[in-house]
Structure 1
Amino acid sequence: MTGRQVRFPLSGQVSRRSMLAGAAAGVVAPVTATVLGGGTASAAPRDRGKPGDGLLRRVTVYAEELPSGLYGYGLQPGKATVPGPVLEIWEGDTLEIELVNNTDRRLSIHPHGVNYETTSDGSPLNDSFNEPGETRTYVWSTRAPSEGPGGFWLPGSAGYWHYHDHALGGEHGTEGIAKGLYGALVVRREGDPLPDRQFTVVFNDMTINNKVAPHVPVFEANLGERVEFIAIGHGNNFHTFHLHAHRWAENRTGYLQGPDDPSRVIDTRDLNPGDSFGFQVIAGDGVGPGAWMYHCHVQFHSDGGMAGVFLVRNADGSMPEGAQEALDRYHQHSGGH
C-alpha cells in the first residue's frame, strides 16, 4: 500500500496481492492491493522505485453493482467495495486506469487534484464515460511544483484527493455517488512519511461510507503505529469531521515541519461536498490505547448515526482494558458527542 511491507492484519482484516503489469513507452510499475476491514482498499506500486522517477503505473478497476443495491469500485471482479480502493502514486507519476464496467448502467471515474485530458474527464459533457459492459482507459498525470511566470511557483499535485463517478443517473453522477461509487486518491511527494495503516472516511449525505452507526467501520491500529486518515465529503450536507483524543496540523500532510511551524493544530475540520483532506497520527500518542470515537460534529448528524470508532489496541495487539465494553456501548447506542 505504501511502498513497504505494511503490518496489516489485525483481527477481521485480510490482505491480498494482485500484480497488474504492462509495458508502454517506458517502465510500467506493478501494483499490489491490500484490502482492509471496514470496506477500504489500497492500490499502490509494489516496487515504487524512487520518488520522481515519473513512472507510468497501470491498474484495472472494476465497477460493479453490490447485493445491497449500492455500487462500488474494486481491484478484482466480484471484489468491489464502498469506498473503492485507495489509488496511490508519487508526484510525477502517471496513472493509467482501465475501468471495466460490469454493470448495466452508464458510469465513469472522475479524479480531483491531478491532470487529465478531456477524454479522461469521466463526464458526459466530454463524452467520457463507460457504457454498460464497456472497458475504457483513463489517464491521470501528476507533476512536482515548478517555477511559473513572474517568479511565482505553480503548485504540484501532492495531496489527499479523491475520485468518483460522474455519469450514473445523470450528467453529474449524482446517483452513482449516492450509491457508493467513490474512493481516495493519494499523491505523495518525496520525503512524505508513509503510514502503517490507512483508512478512508467518506461523509456522504447523512452516512459514513454509506453506513450509519452501529454499522460504521471500526478502524483498528496498535499503540504507536502511524495511522493515516483520508477524509472525503460527498452529497448535499455540510459536515465537520472530529477525531477524539488525536490532533493534526492543518496543512498538506498533517505534520508540523518544525517547532516554529505556524500551521494551526486541530482535531476538527469542515468536510463538505467535494472536499478532501488527509493527515497522520501516532495511534494513542499521549493518551494511550482505547476506543476513540470519530464522528460528524454537527450534533443532529452524530445523533443520527454519523459516528464510528477508532480502536487503538495495546502495542502487542491485545484489547485494552475497557475497550470491549466501549465497543459494546457503541453497538447499543449510535450517538456521538
Structure 2
Amino acid sequence: MTDHPSRAGASPFRQLSRRSVLAGATASAVVPVTAMNGVPAAAAPAKRGDTRRITMYAEELPNGLIGYGTSPGEATVPGPVLEMWEGDTLEIELVNNTDRKLSIHPHGVDYDVDSDGTPLNASVNEPGQRRTYVWHSHGPYKAKGNRWMPGSAGYWHYHDHAMGTPHGTEGINKGLYGALIVRRKGDVLPDRRFTVVFNGMTINNRTAPDAPLFRARLGERVEFVAIGQGDLFHTFHMHAHRWTDNRTGMLEGPHDTSPSIDNKDLNPGSSFGFQVIAGDGVGPGAWMYHCHVQFHSDQGMAGIFLVLNEDGSVPEGAQAALDRYRDQG
C-alpha cells in the first residue's frame, strides 16, 4: 500500500472510525503493480532486468497545483512512486495535458541527453505533446584501477525541469515531483509506503492541520521516502521511530555499525528513505513527524503518522490527539 497524496487539499482530519481509517491509503499508483514474495501488488517492483513502459500524465489540479499521474484524471501531489530493480530500464511516455511547457527529470539513474528533461537539451513537453523519456539503472561494478563503482540502488526522486524557468522552479512549486526507488536484489519490501516532500514551507504542498496523515497498523513494515524541494533547508524528524543512516534504513547484520537516527537533513534536491516497524517498542498512537527547524514546524511543517491497533481500530487517545493537532494548526 502507498501514500495518500492530495488532489483537492481537503483536510484528512475528519472523525476517524474503525472502518474508515485506512480508506484512501492506496490513492497514489506505484509502478509496477505486479505481486512478488507475498507483498501486496502495489508494493512490488518488476523482475530484475526488465524493460517496462508506462504512460504518465501531467494535469492541472485544484488550488493552482499541477501533478503527475498514471491515468487521465488521476494526477496527484506527490506523483506516483516509480520503482525499478538495479538493471531495469523504464520508458516513460509523458503526456502534457496542461497549457504550459514541462518535463520529467530523474535523480540517481542513467539517461542520455534526449531524456535529460531540460530545455538545455530540448528534452521537454510542449502543451499537448507526448514524449518518451528512457531511464536505465545498473548494479555495482568493478572499474579500471581496481575501483568498485556504486550501483543505482537508492531512494531518489523525479521532478519537472522546464516550467517557468530552465530549472522547472514553477513546476516544482506547483507539485510536479515524486519518488523514484531503485532496489537491489535482496532488499526487503514494505507493507506500506509513504512519500514525504518538504517543498518550501510545505509538506507535499500542504501545511498543518492539512499536512499528510499517514496510517499503518501496529507491526507493519512501513517505508518512508523523504525528498527535499524548493529553496529552504530543513531537517526531517520522526517521533518514537528510528532508522539506520545507510542506503536502506535497516541494519544489514549484527556487525553493521551504521548509526541509528531519528532526525536527518532534508535539503533542496536531496532524498533518502528508510523502513520502520510501525509502533515497534512504543505502541500504537498518533506520532508526529515534522521539520525540526523550529519556526518551520511552528508555521505548519508538521504532520501525523497514525499507528493503529493490529485490527485496524483507532487506539485509545489517538482521536483526541488528532483533534488537538487540528485545533493547533
Answer whether TM exceeds 0.5 for this pair: yes
> Does 2:6 correspond to 1:11?
no
Letter in 2 for 1:78: G
Distance 1:41 1:307, change over 3 A: farther
Residue of structure 1 in register with 2:162 after alignment: 167
Against the structure 1 CA distance between its residues 228 and 148, is the aligned structure 2 distance closer, same or farther, given a 3 Å change threshold?
A: same
Match of 1:286 among 253, 258, 281: 281
Task: Please list the CA deviations of residues 171-227 of structure 1 after superposition, one character each: whole Å capped at 9, or x if unmatched.
Answer: 000000001000000001111010000000000010000000000011000000000
Q: Distance in 2 between matches of 1:85 and 1:255?
A: 24
Q: Which residue of 2 aligns with 1:310?
A: 305
SS of the aligned residue for 1:270 comes to strand
Once the two structures are TM-superposed, the CA of residue 259 in structure 1 deviates from its matched residue by 2.1
Contact 2:45–2:83 (Cα < 8 Å) also in 1 = no
Q: Does structure 1 residue 215 correspond to structure 2 residue 210? A: yes
Please name the residue that 2:196 is paired with.
Answer: 201
Residue of structure 1 in register with 2:39 after alignment: none
Mapping for residues 24-173 of structure 1, pairs under 5 Å: 35-36=26-27, 40-46=28-34, 53-173=48-168
Paired AA for residue 256 in structure 1: L
| Matched AA of 2:34 | R
Aligned letter for 1:175?
E
Contact persistence 1:254–1:278 (CA under 8 A): yes
The letter for the 1-side match of 2:101 is: R
- Pick one of 248, 251, 255 that aligns with 1:253: 248
2:236 aligns to what SS in structure 1? strand
* Worse-matched range after superposition: 40-49 or 57-66: 40-49
SS, match of residue 150 in structure 1: coil
Sort the Cα spacing of 1:223 and 1:157 in 2 relative to 1 into closer, same or farther, 3 A: same
Matches within 5 A, 1:326-337: 326-334=321-329
Residue of structure 2 aligned with 1:319, choices 310, 314, 318 = 314
Q: Quick one: structure 1 residues 126 and 53, their matched pair in 2 at CA, closer, same or farther if it must change by over 3 Å?
A: same
Q: Distance in 2 between matches of 1:231 and 1:134?
A: 31
Q: State the Cα RMSD in Å.
A: 1.7
Matched, 1:235 2:223: no
> What secondary structure is seen at the aligned counterpart in 2 of 1:285?
coil
For the 8 Å contact 1:101–1:135, the answer to whether it is kept is: yes
| Cα pair 2:235 2:293 within 8 Å, conserved | yes
1:212-266 CA distance string (max 9 Å, x none):
0000011000000000000000000000000000000000000111222110110
Query: Once superposed, which parts of structure 1, at least 4 consecutive aligned residues long, lie more than 4 Å away?
Result: 47-52
Structure 2: state its 5+ residue gaps: 3-18, 37-43
Amino acid of the structure 2 residue aligned with 1:318: S
Residue 12 of structure 1, CA deviation? 5.1
- Could you tell me how far apart the structure 2 residues matched to 1:50 and 1:89 are? 6
Contact persistence 1:111–1:164 (CA under 8 A) = yes
How far apart are residue 52 of structure 1 and its match? 6.6
Q: C-alpha offsets along residues 38-72 of structure 1, whole Å, 9 cap, x if unaligned?
A: xx442224156998741101111000011211100
Instruction: State the partner residue of 1:18.
Output: none
